[in-house]
Amino acid sequence: MNFVKLNNGLEIPQLGFGVCRIPDLSECQQVVEKAIETGYRLIDTAAIYQNESAVGQAMKQSGVAREKLFITSKLWIENFGYQETLRAFDETLAKLQTDYLDLYLLHYPFGDIFGSWRALTELYRQGKIRALGVSNFPNDRLFDLLVNSEVKPAVNQLQTHPFLQRKYERKFLQEKQISLEAWSPFAVGRDNIFSHPVLVTIASHHQKSVAQVILRWHLQHGTIVIPKTVQPKRMQENFSVWDFQLTPEELSAIAQLDQQDQTQTTALAEIDDRIRVQSKFI
Ligand SMILES: NC(=O)c1ccc[n+]([C@@H]2O[C@H](COP(=O)([O-])OP(=O)(O)OC[C@H]3O[C@@H](n4cnc5c(N)ncnc54)[C@H](OP(=O)(O)O)[C@@H]3O)[C@@H](O)[C@H]2O)c1
């Protein structure tokens, strides 16, 4: 496993496991136990996924020591604001059956971001969170937070995949020493990504799957990546990506697949929909 050193010195596994859209708690617990058994140590959940308690049970059942795991959760927007953040964080800890988080993210850039960040900063200083970060923050919102906070965000978790490559965000994040973590690293299989001819050709050249090629592409760009699957065979497949390298020519071919402007519009519409469905906030 490779590790990425965050801007506060904490090391995060570069490849982790996401648990979005696994609402059934017993299924989620089984899946996370299997993922930990496969070797994953970074588990990415969120309050809004409503499965933190299943992740907590799986951590306990796994027999792997807490300090060997790297647990990320996210504060949902309805709980933004100083007091609500402290309360929601305690609830998250209780559900996860732990007394600290490795990484805690503001899920979206809405509402009282600065009140929440003040609460997170206190929790960070008390050692209850080992690194702070954000998710879905465009460059300008992130810049505002950066220049107006004492503890800098270590991570921005953004939807990133070969069709949405984040060139502009990546450049900004590098300049500011903030790590990019890719959500939906496979574009959730949309737009036939798993049968895209360019990716299929590269995969057959390496005798690997398209999923493995996509993960290599992320890893070779230095991105932290958290694919999700409920299938043990795919967990193993997605974890077996350390024994081959994409060539510069292959990386250039994948660079041509970027449709950021077009995809970003779709991504924004989806975020809008998701928040409308999941929240009383709007
Ligand atoms: N911060 C945010 O706002 C945000 C938003 C969305 C997601 N996330 C995080 O990012 C994680 C990953 O994103 P995601 O779940 O949206 O999508 P994803 O990882 O891009 O794709 C998951 C989909 O790909 C399939 N899949 C996985 N491995 C495969 C393989 N080797 N071959 C073929 N298909 C495969 C899965 O199906 P099966 O399960 O049937 O295998 C599932 O349908 C989430 O779980 C969550 O932790 C964060």
At 90, is the secondary structure helix, strand, or coil?
A: helix
With beta carbons less than 8 A apart as the criterion, state whether 50 and 79 touch.
no
pLDDT reported for residue 47: 97
Count of Cβ atoms closer than 10 Å to residue 116 Cβ: 23
Whole-number Å distance between alpha carbons of 13 and 16: 7
Active-site option among 49, 104, 108, 124: 49
- The β-bridge relationship of strands 70-75 and 129-135 is unpaired
| Spatial contact of 182 and 223, defined as CB atoms under 8 Å apart | yes
pLDDT of the chain along its 282 residues, tens only?
Answer: 999 999 999 999 999 999 999 989 999 999 999 999 999 999 999 999 999 999 999 999 999 999 999 999 999 999 999 999 999 999 999 999 999 999 999 999 999 999 999 999 999 999 999 999 999 999 999 999 999 999 999 999 999 999 999 999 999 999 999 999 999 999 999 999 999 999 999 999 999 999 999 999 999 999 999 999 999 999 999 999 999 999 999 999 999 999 987 666 666 666 666 666 666 544
Question: Would you state the pLDDT for residue 260?
Answer: 81
* 6 backbone φψ class: left, alpha, beta (φ>0; ψ -120 to 50): beta
What's residue 282's pLDDT?
A: 43
Find all residues with CB under 8 Å of 110, minimum gap 6, and list them.
77, 80, 275, 281
Q: Give the distance (Å) from ligand 1 centre to CA of residue 187.
A: 7
Is the separation of the CB atoms in 160 and 166 below 8 Å?
yes
**pTM of the model as a whole:** 0.94
Helices (H) and strands (E) in the chain, counts: 11, 10
The predicted pLDDT at position 261 comes to: 74
How far does the centroid of ligand 1 lie from the alpha carbon of residue 232, in Å?
Answer: 14
Residue nearest to atom 13 of ligand 1 (CA): 184
The pLDDT of residue 236: 98
Residues having CB within 6 Å of any atom of ligand 1: 18-21, 44, 135-136, 157, 183-189, 194, 209, 211, 226-231, 234, 237-238
Task: Please report the pLDDT score of residue 175 as a whole number.
Answer: 95
Task: Mention every residue, 6+ apart, whose C-beta is less than 8 A from residue 62.
Answer: 32, 33, 36, 37, 69
Nearest atom (ligand 1) to Cα of 238: 31
Q: Which of 12, 15, 17, 20 to mutate to test the pocket of ligand 1 (most atoms within 8 A of CB)?
A: 20
Contact 134, 156 (CB under 8 A): yes
Atom of ligand 1 nearest to the CA of 186: 20
Shortest-distance Cα residue to atom 37 of ligand 1: 229
Is residue 100 annotated as a catalytic residue, yes or no? no
Nearest CA to ligand 1 atom 36: 229
